[in-house]
Amino acid sequence: MAAEKIIETRSIRARFGAAVVLDDVNLSIYRHEIVVIIGESGCGKTTLMRILIGLAKPSSGTVFLEGAPLTRHAITKKVGVLFQNNALFGSMTVGENIALPIAAYTDLDKNAIEKIVRMKLGMVGLAGYENHLPSELSGGMKKKAALARALALSPSILFLDEPSSGLDPISAAEIDELILHINRSSGTTMVVVTHDLASVFTLTRRVIMLGKVKKGIVAEGTPEFLKNECKDPFVKQFFNRQPRPGTTGWQTV
């Protein structure tokens, strides 16, 4: 049976003023998979993610969620987002942060909401932290709390913007393991934007790479293919962590 597309884009174009950032982006994301979107700074990863979650409109083109053009209602019900800065409300406890979307978008009573909050915290390894303020948590724990909130409404698809940025390598590896665990145990489809090559190899069999010179998708495949076999010199350079030609001729002062 063919894998089911949960998201599909047709000819997405994004520009700011005269500057085109994304051109002719056609991509499919399949149910239950983890897809990683990579590319150098400024190539349009965040712009693409904002378009896929309905926070920005493309200049042209269409996004389909489960076969229908994206609507605010469908996004609220089906899409979860882990923002790069976590976007936790600092004056609310971790539990209140997670309860917020549940109270806003369901008719559940207080007891049921508290039960879900405890369950989501358990899923991310933060059982018992509902009464802590975000400021009382480490960077890795804040990320987990934000992940619990992104999962509050049991989304079909979860977008994660640089989930390991700013974390030490051990905490980053823990977040990767947690992402894999949640994907395997709940089947949640995940779209991860990251710069972290180690995470790319851990998380996925399918990478979509965006370009800055050639706008839009420049390569797609397994991390191993992009690193070792892809003919595009820019892709090889990125995966092998090499500087741009001509940027190493610094003078001694």
Ligand X SMILES: Nc1ncnc2c1ncn2[C@@H]1O[C@H](COP(=O)(O)OP(=O)(O)OP(=O)(O)O)[C@@H](O)[C@H]1O
Which residues of the shown chain bind ligand X in the complex (CB under 6 A)?
A: 16, 21, 39, 41-47
Q: What does the alpha-carbon distance between residue 34 and residue 30 come to, in Å, rounded to a whole number?
A: 9
Sheet holding 34-38, edge to edge: 79-82, 157-161, 189-193, 34-38, 206-211, 216-221
Least distance between ligand X and beta carbon 176 (Å): 19
- Judge contact between 137 and 129, C-beta under 8 A: yes
Least distance between ligand X and beta carbon 195 (Å): 6
- Judge contact between 48 and 12, C-beta under 8 A: yes
Residue placing its CB nearer to ligand X in the complex, 206 or 212? 212
Q: What does the alpha-carbon distance between residue 209 and residue 203 come to, in Å, rounded to a whole number?
A: 15
Residue placing its CB nearer to ligand X in the complex, 47 or 97? 47
Residue placing its CB nearer to ligand X in the complex, 47 or 86? 47
Least distance between ligand X and beta carbon 140 (Å): 21
Least distance between ligand X and beta carbon 215 (Å): 10
Least distance between ligand X and beta carbon 212 (Å): 8
Least distance between ligand X and beta carbon 213 (Å): 12
Q: What does the alpha-carbon distance between residue 163 and residue 147 come to, in Å, rounded to a whole number?
A: 9
**Residue 249 has which token pair?**
């001729």
Least distance between ligand X and beta carbon 68 (Å): 25
Residue placing its CB nearer to ligand X in the complex, 52 or 203? 52
Residue placing its CB nearer to ligand X in the complex, 47 or 93? 47
State phi, psi for 245 to the nearest 5 degrees.
Answer: -60, 140
| Burial category of 236 from C-beta neighbours within 10 Å (exposed 0-12, middle 13-18, buried 19 and up) | middle
Q: What does the alpha-carbon distance between residue 148 and residue 123 come to, in Å, rounded to a whole number?
A: 7
Residue placing its CB nearer to ligand X in the complex, 32 or 195? 195
State phi, psi for 91 to the nearest 5 degrees.
Answer: -90, -5
Nearest to 49 by CA among 14, 24, 74, 76: 14
Strand, helix or coil for residue 70 = coil
Residue placing its CB nearer to ligand X in the complex, 85 or 242? 85
